[in-house]
Amino acid sequence: MQDHYYSRTPDAAHDYHEWTFALFDRPLSFLTDAGVFSKGRVDFGSVTLLKAFTSEKLPEGMILDVGCGYGPIGLFLAVKTGRPLEMIDINERAVELAQKNARKNNLENVDIHTSDLFADLHHEKYAAIVSNPPIRAGKKVVHAILEEAVEHLLPGGTLTIVIQKKQGAPSAKKKMEEVFGNAAVLKKDKGYYVLQSIKK
């Protein structure tokens, strides 16, 4: 069985659901399915990241959502920032759902496709990278996101992630400090930490 949400081709039986969630005064409709992360709701960690993230001081450019799932972070950031978003995930089922959800909500400033982390990006540099990283995929995968993100950011660009304290927020912050030379806690809420590093 390959029904982990971080598998390339989940083989869990389909179990479609449609529901709506509102943020930033904009309700978005989502189609979800078995084999994707948090299929029944926009998870609390993603909402915490979305509320903490700001694009005001970023350089001009695109935002990259790594591990986009069915699309909640990237699609709400497309609404919140008005910037173009590239959204990637290894999970083909999740990517197909994210593409459908972008169309359902008439969001055209998004480019959604499969990629194993940073392997198949459509652009070289980004103003910001955001991620609710796949904790269950293991520390090696999570830290690969943190280590490799810096090479794909413009000067002044940011990496912003959300991670629970009990699932490795302290070690993630330490790794971001090693890679970027800085890491700040933007927000703490119910054990979730929103961490951000800036590329100098």
Condensed to tens digits (0 to 9), the pLDDT of residues 77-94 reads 999 999 999 999 999 999
Sign of CA dihedral 29, 129, 148, 174: negative
pLDDT (0 to 100) of residue 40 = 75
DSSP bridge pairs for 193: 163, 188
DSSP bridge pairs for 163: 193
Residue 1 scores a pLDDT above 50: no
Mean pLDDT taken over the chain: 93
The DSSP letter of residue 59 is P
Domains within the chain, CATH numbers bracketed: 17-198 (3.40.50.150)
Please give the share of the chain, as a percent, with pLDDT higher than 90: 86
150 φ, ψ to 5°?
A: -60, -35
pLDDT digits 0-9 by tens, 156-200: 999 999 999 999 999 999 999 999 999 999 999 999 999 999 999
Look-up of token digits 């029904």: 3
Distance of alpha carbon 118 from alpha carbon 64, whole angstroms: 10
